[in-house]
Chains A and B, each alone.
Chain A
């Protein structure tokens, strides 16, 4: 499976936008980019996924670089409830999600 690289931790102020980066330089043409997050004491939660074009949903936006070697998850206005570990995962259409170490996001009130 292609690997992803994310910062171990990030901090952001409440009510400000958050940009969570993910590098995936060995991504293949058929790999989708998925983002999940895991709040404390909960199971992971699907956030968003995309292939080539930028994607938006009610939770976040996903910006994908033109060469697809990196992507950024954008939370438009962080709240305290967004404090979680965010996982960037590549999936080429099989069933398996291979979670990496993720980014622990801390929101500062």
Chain B
């Protein structure tokens, strides 16, 4: 089945040590999103790519960056993780922006030691 795959499901890193989370999709969708979901909270959009165009949310910390080397893959880089960055990170895709259903992966749960 076509899907959005996030690896790994669980990631542990040390305070201040850069970490990269990955997302791949077999849906051939044009848009890829990254959301952050902290414990008992709703998902919050960090940024998204529409093809190669990067769109950052105004309140996304500079510590968070993203790369999309091709249609299928998108990466979330956290340059210097702090304790407050511990969260579930969700990747999603949609065929086009706007009122299109978004397809989510099952997320990567990031812990900071």
By a beta-carbon cutoff of 8 Å, the part of chain A in contact with chain B is 32, 34, 36, 41-46, 49, 87, 91, 93-102
Whether A95 contacts B101 by the Cβ 8 Å rule is: no
B interface residue numbers (CB < 8 A to A): 4, 31, 33, 42-45, 48, 50, 55, 57, 90-92, 94, 97-99, 101-107
B104 and A95 contact, CB distance less than 8 A: no
Q: Is the CB of B103 within 8 A of A46?
A: yes
Which partner residue on chain A sits nearest B4 by CB separation?
A: A43
Tell me whether A99 and B44 are in contact (CB under 8 A): yes
Q: Are B101 and A46 closer than 8 Å at their CB atoms?
A: yes
Tell whether, in the assembled complex, residue A95 and residue B97 are in contact, meaning their CB atoms are under 8 Å apart: yes
What A residues does B57 contact at CB under 8 A?
A: 96
Please name the residue on chain B nearest to A91 by beta carbon.
B99
Chain B residues with CB under 8 A of A97: 43, 45, 102
